Amino acid sequence: MKLTYRFKNDEQKLDIKKVEYVNPKEIIVYPKADDEVYVSDGEEVYINQLLKESKNGIKTYATVSGTASVKKGIIRISNDNSDSTIVSEDTVDDISKLKKEEVINICQELGIEYENKLLVEKLQNKNKVIIVNGMDIEPYQFNNNYMLEDRLECILEVTEVISNLFNLNAYLILNKYDENNIEEVRKVISKYPNIIFKTVDDVFPFTTNPCIAKKYFKEYKYNELLFFDTFALNKLYTALKDGLPVSERYVTVCLNGTDNISVVKCRYGTSLASILSEAVNIDLTNRDIYLNNYMRGVKCDDVKALIVNDNVKTIFILEHDDVKASKCIKCGKCVEICPVNINPLDKKLDPACIRCGLCNNVCPANINLLNKGK
C-alpha cells in the first residue's frame, strides 16, 4: 500500500507493509494494586476469559488461550495455540434494532475501555457530534488506515447506530491521500445516511483532534465533539454484535525513520520485544527505540517490559544516536516551523506549545528544544 504523508513543507510517498503476528508465545497483563484478579496460577484459560477488573469497571480479558502463571502480581498466559475461546450467547443479528439502554448495558457489562476510560462514559457525555477519525494522530502511524481497510462496513454500521440512538451528527474523516480507503468508502457510504464523509489534508500536527476541531468544527465547543478512532468503533461493534471483547489491534513499526514501515496485527498483551524480534526480525543492538513519536524525545529503555495496549501506536527503531547537541546557530528554522507560532527558543516552553516536536526535528544543531529547562 502506498500512502503520501506530508509534514509542513515536505511530501513523501511511503510503502507500507502489513505483517500478521497473532500467535505470540505469551501475553502479559499487569494488574494494579486495587484491581480484582479472576485467574489463579496454573489455571487453563480461554480467549475472552475475564482476567481482571479495575475499580472503575474496566475489564481485561485473555487474548490467547493457555496456562496462566500469576507471580509477583503479574499475569502471564503461555499460548497453547489452540485458540480455545469463550463464545458469547449475546449475539445480535441487527445492531440497529438495539435500544440506547441496551447499548449502554452491553458496554458496561463488558467493561470496554477506550483511552484508559470506560468507553460507555464517553457515550454518556453531552456530545453533539461523533467524529470517526480514520487518520492517525502522529506522524508515520498507519494503524487506522489498515483497521478501516479490514472493518470498514462494521465501523460505518456502528457509527450510524450510535448517531441515531444518541442523536449525534456523524462525520468520517480521512486523509485525502488515503486513496484505497476513499474509494471503498465512496462505494458504500450511501447506505449510511447519517454519516458525512470528509477528506482533509494530512499535515502533521493538523491531524490531532484539537486541530481538526478548530479547523472543521468551529461551530461546536470542543467538549461537544466525540472523537473515536477506528479501534474504539471496532470494539463497540464487536461488543454490540458478538457480545465479546476485541483481542487484536495494529501497531506500526518504523525502522530507520521511514526506510521500512510495517503495520503489525497483534494481540493485546504481547510484549513489544517479541513483536520486534519475531514479526519484523530486527537486531536491537545499537538501536534506540521510541514510542509513538520519535520527535518528542521519549525513549523506551526496556521493550521487554512493555506490552501492546491502546496507548502503543508506533514503535520507532533508530540507529543509536551518538550525535551530541551543539550550540544554537540562530538559523531560525525552529521558529519558522512552529505550527502555533511560538518561539521554541524561549527559556520556558510556552503553554501554547502542543508538543508536536517539529522544532526538534528541524534543528540542525540537534538541540532538544522540548526538554529545555528540565
- Please check whether residue 121 is in contact with residue 56, taking contact to mean a CB–CB distance below 8 angstroms: no
> Least CB distance from residue 207 to ligand SF4, whole Å?
14
By beta-carbon proximity to ligand SF4, the closer residue of 223 and 326 is 326
- What string marks each residue from 288 to 327 as x (binds ligand SF4 by CB under 6 A) or -? ----------------------------------------
> Least CB distance from residue 261 to ligand SF4, whole Å?
23
> Least CB distance from residue 212 to ligand SF4, whole Å?
16
C-alpha cell at position 138: 502522529
CA dihedral (303, 308, 309, 314) positive or negative = positive
β-pairing verdict for 129-133 and 169-175: parallel
Amino acid at 182: I
> Least CB distance from residue 329 to ligand SF4, whole Å?
5
By beta-carbon proximity to ligand SF4, the closer residue of 21 and 316 is 316
- Please check whether residue 61 is in contact with residue 245, taking contact to mean a CB–CB distance below 8 angstroms: yes
C-alpha cell at position 348: 520556558
Which residues lie below 8 Å from residue 39, measured CB to CB, with a gap of 6+?
45, 49, 51, 52, 62, 68, 70, 75
By beta-carbon proximity to ligand SF4, the closer residue of 138 and 157 is 138
Place of cell 525513549: 299
Residues 331-370 that bind ligand SF4 (CB under 6 A): 331-334, 337-340, 342, 344-345, 353-359, 362-365, 367, 369-370
d(CA 202, CA 11): 10
By beta-carbon proximity to ligand SF4, the closer residue of 7 and 30 is 7
> Alpha helices, DSSP H only, in the chain?
100-110, 119-123, 143-165, 179-188, 209-216, 230-242, 272-274, 333-337, 358-362
Question: Is residue 358 classed as helix, strand or coil in its secondary structure?
Answer: helix
Q: Which residue in 30, 216, 328, 368 binds ligand SF4 (CB under 6 A)?
A: 328
> Least CB distance from residue 222 to ligand SF4, whole Å?
18
C-alpha cell at position 19: 505483517
User: Does position 203 bind ligand SF4 by CB under 6 A?
Assistant: no
The CA distances from residue 253 to 75, 211, 265, 361, in Å, are 26, 25, 11, 19
> Least CB distance from residue 204 to ligand SF4, whole Å?
10
Q: Any idea of the CA torsion for 207, 13, 369, 355, to the nearest 10 degrees? A: 10
By beta-carbon proximity to ligand SF4, the closer residue of 182 and 353 is 353
By beta-carbon proximity to ligand SF4, the closer residue of 130 and 358 is 358
> Least CB distance from residue 353 to ligand SF4, whole Å?
3
d(CA 155, CA 134): 10
By beta-carbon proximity to ligand SF4, the closer residue of 243 and 297 is 297
Q: Which residue in 97, 99, 126, 330 binds ligand SF4 (CB under 6 A)?
A: 330
d(CA 168, CA 258): 38
- What string marks each residue from 10 to 49 as x (binds ligand SF4 by CB under 6 A) or -? ----------------------------------------
By beta-carbon proximity to ligand SF4, the closer residue of 18 and 333 is 333
Residues binding ligand SF4 (CB under 6 A)? 328-334, 337-340, 342, 344-345, 353-359, 362-365, 367, 369-370
